[in-house]
Amino acid sequence: MMKLLELDFKDALNTGKLIIIKLLNIKPNEKVLIIADSETNRKMIESLISTLEHIGAEYMLSIIPRKLKDHTTLPSIAQKCLSEADVVIGLTKASAAPSYDPEVARLLKEKKIRYMSMVLRDLSNWTEGAALADYDIVYEKAKKLSNALQNREVVELESESGTKLRALMKNSRIIIEAGFATKPGESAAFSDGEVSFTPTEGTAEGTVVIDGPITYLGKLSKPLKLTIKKGKVVNVEGGKEAETIKKWLKEVENFNNFAEIGIGVNYAARKNGDWQEEKKKEGNIHIALGDNIYYGGTIKCNLHVDMVIYNATLKADGETIVKNGKLLI
């Protein structure tokens, strides 16, 4: 057992070095803010801190409450620390607050920080599957995909399971999250590999059938069917998970917002039932409901929930970018 624990920490330490030295390119005397909670795996924290101390960076570890009323907003005391940092690392396990906090979004937009999102993850997301990819390859593929999506006006999404959606995307900000965040204004989300955007608010129309895992809910007992009108969810059908989604729609303001479309670009990501892993898998597509501030939108919500779609086809201005789960870029 002791040897297994030592091996786990060795793997975590190797990942910590990759993140701090290569993917974030943190230099001596840079200021780094790590935001975690009581559920964060301590090996992940320790591996980052060990590397930061080795290179001579200045850092602070902030432990925020596990239970937050708003899963997309940091406590005010943590928000006040953000502007002092060069680099912010979100490492919370119980919520996504660091990644969708509006102050983090503002500082990124103004190019005052760079950000690494590792929220809602455990150690396996650091040491297996997508984490083991060559991130130079993943980033190059993400750049090609981003270029292919720039200056498009209409996005269409279909899938074998019944998805048929159309939305406008004129002036949508195309976001690369593919490991590297070395300059102010850049962000990543290790283990990584996606290109995403928020469609023009109020324009998404059609049906989305979710047959992959969902944030907080995991694998589905049966596919989830969402009906979207004018960028809002108006009907939900499915198994037991549909009842949870209906509850959130009723109780959480703006959760009905169609917030995001994302495309995975990581060749090493697995189909393993983990939504964090599967949404990064090359050719997989996910959508999200709720908050879209991080993506350049205007709609604040206490939740941002990703939902993976298998074997989907995505077209931009009629050009096929993904066909039946295969990335064509």
Q: What is the pLDDT of residues 47-73, one digit of tens each?
A: 999 999 999 999 999 999 999 988 899
State how far the Cα of 284 lies from the Cα of 265, in Å rounded to an integer: 8
201 has pLDDT over 50? yes
Which letter does DSSP use for residue 18 in this model? Answer: I
5 has pLDDT over 60? no
Which letter does DSSP use for residue 224 in this model? Answer: E
Q: Indicate the SS3 state at residue 277.
A: helix
pLDDT tens digits, one per residue of 274-285: 999 999 999 999
Q: Quick one: pLDDT at residue 7?
A: 53
First vs last C-alpha separation in the chain: 45
pLDDT tens digits, one per residue of 206-264: 999 999 999 999 999 999 999 999 999 999 999 999 999 999 999 999 999 999 999 99
Q: Which of 53, 120, 60, 124 lies closest to 92 in space, CA to CA?
A: 120
Residue with the bigger pLDDT between 1 and 273: it is 273
Neighbouring CB atoms inside 10 A of 31's CB total 16
Q: Quick one: pLDDT at residue 13?
A: 94
State how far the Cα of 55 lies from the Cα of 28, in Å rounded to an integer: 6
Neighbouring CB atoms inside 10 A of 217's CB total 17
Q: Which residues contact 10 (CB under 8 A, 6 or more apart)?
A: none
The amino acid occupying position 180 is F
Residue matched to tokens 């040897």 = 3
Q: Indicate the SS3 state at residue 275.
A: helix
pLDDT tens digits, one per residue of 22-53: 999 999 999 999 999 999 999 999 999 999 99
Domain with CATH 3.40.1830.10 in the chain: 2-127
Residue matched to tokens 């303001």 = 253
Segment 91-114 shows an average pLDDT of 96
Strand order in the sheet with 164-168: 232-237, 224-229, 205-210, 164-168, 154-159, 312-316, 319-323, 326-327
* Residues constituting the chain: 329
Mean residue pLDDT of the chain comes to 96
2 has pLDDT over 80? no
Q: Quick one: pLDDT at residue 9?
A: 82
3 has pLDDT over 50? no
State how far the Cα of 206 lies from the Cα of 233, in Å rounded to an integer: 10
Q: Quick one: pLDDT at residue 8?
A: 72
**Pair type for strands 31-37 and 58-64:** parallel
Judge whether 245 and 230 are in contact, CB under 8 Å.
Answer: no
The model's pTM: 0.94
Element spanning 49, H or E: helix 42-55
State how far the Cα of 297 lies from the Cα of 120, in Å rounded to an integer: 22
Dihedral angle, C-alpha 175, 118, 72, 270, nearest 10 °: 70
Segment 189-211 shows an average pLDDT of 98
The b/e string for 183-195 (b: 16+ C-beta within 10 A; e otherwise) is: eeebbbbbbbbbb
In this structure, what token pair is assigned to residue 244? 């949870």
The confidence band for 6, taking pLDDT boundaries of 50, 70 and 90, is: low
| Helix, strand counts (H, E) of the chain | 9, 18
State how far the Cα of 282 lies from the Cα of 268, in Å rounded to an integer: 8
Q: Just give the CATH number of 2-127.
A: 3.40.1830.10
Question: 318 exposed, middle or buried (CB, 10 Å; 0-12, 13-18, 19+)?
Answer: exposed
Q: Quick one: pLDDT at residue 1?
A: 38
pLDDT tens digits, one per residue of 136-170: 999 999 999 999 999 999 999 999 999 999 999 99
